[in-house]
Amino acid sequence: MLNVAAYRFVPLEDLPRWRADVESRAQALALKGTVLLAEEGINLFLAGTEANVHAWLAWLHEQMDAAGAWPFQGLKAKQSWSAEVPFRKLRVRIKREIIRMNQPAVVPAAGRAPAVDATTLARWLSQGHDDEGRPVVTLDTRNRFEVDEGTFEGALDWDLHKFSDFPQALAEHAAELRDKTVVSFCTGGIRCEKAAIVMREAGLTHAYQLEGGILQYFEDTRGAPHWRGRCVVFDERGSLDATLKSD
């Protein structure tokens, strides 16, 4: 079965209509998983047959909002495979945030922080510094139990219980990071969208997000250099190794 994960920060209105349309189309294609909708965008984890997943994504790309725009056109999904669908049912929910940080002033759709791609990060970590000679540190923005399963070698871990703890942890540690290049990372990139903005606003001028998160790093780098362990995913597979397999 094909598993896809994707998100996009984009202003959405009339959320009940979006919820009804998204759910109806996913049900018609026998997909299972979770889709979160909020005024700030969409976050999804879905699984089904390859043909049906691709059909649903194609349908989503073609949807127009009331203003005549295509909010999901070009949305890219990260893919992995499993023998069975790792979700028990389909859930489409309206939330206050697609990833909760409790920082309403942080609006990724208004402008995202700079990102670094997987191959560049791998090269920086191998050489021990960025292309301008600054020390590079990776910052894990995930929760404690996720970090325990696996993380980058030497990554900063602030022992977060939930993502909304990140701004306070940053306030306590920002001074230690001012002369470094800091690359925040998370599972699929969504938490880093907000984390990197907050870091920039805190005066960390060399703060970046890892484009596509850990899953993209696994996909784009051969053998996931500098990574140790597994990556937690939020379905019945539990976690994935660096080849994007659950066993």
Q: Terminus-to-terminus CA distance in the chain, angstroms?
A: 15
Residues with active-site annotation: 186
pLDDT score of 139 = 98
> Which residues have C-beta within 8 Å of that of residue 87, sequence separation ≥ 6?
32, 33, 34, 45, 46, 47, 235, 236
- The pLDDT profile of the chain, 247 residues, written as one tens digit per residue, is 999 999 999 999 999 999 999 999 999 999 999 999 999 999 999 999 999 999 999 999 999 998 899 999 999 999 999 999 999 999 999 999 999 998 888 888 888 899 999 999 999 999 999 999 999 999 999 999 999 999 999 999 999 999 999 999 999 999 999 999 999 999 999 999 999 999 999 999 999 999 999 999 999 998 999 999 999 999 999 999 999 998 8
pLDDT at residue 8, as a whole number: 96
Taking alpha carbons only, the member of 96, 77, 92 closest to residue 12 is 96
CB 140 within 8 A of CB 156: yes
Give the pTM.
0.89
* CA 183/CA 83 separation, integer angstroms: 34
Alpha carbon distance 34, 195 (integer Å) = 23
What are the backbone angles phi and psi of residue 52, rounded to the nearest 5°? Answer: -70, -35
Contact 57, 27 (CB under 8 A): no
Catalogue all structural domains in the chain, each as residue range(s) with its CATH number.
Answer: 2-94 (3.30.70.100), 108-240 (3.40.250.10)
Backbone dihedral region for residue 80 (phi beyond 0: left; psi -120 to 50: alpha; all else: beta): beta
pLDDT at residue 111 in the model: 86
Strand 150-152 and strand 41-48: pairing? unpaired
Q: What pLDDT is attached to residue 98?
A: 95
**Whole-number Å distance between alpha carbons of 203 and 129:** 20
Helix (H) or strand (E) holding 169: helix 166-173
> What integer pLDDT is reported at residue 67 of this predicted model?
86
pLDDT at 46: 98
List, in sequence order, every residue forming a beta bridge with 105; answer none if it has no partner: none
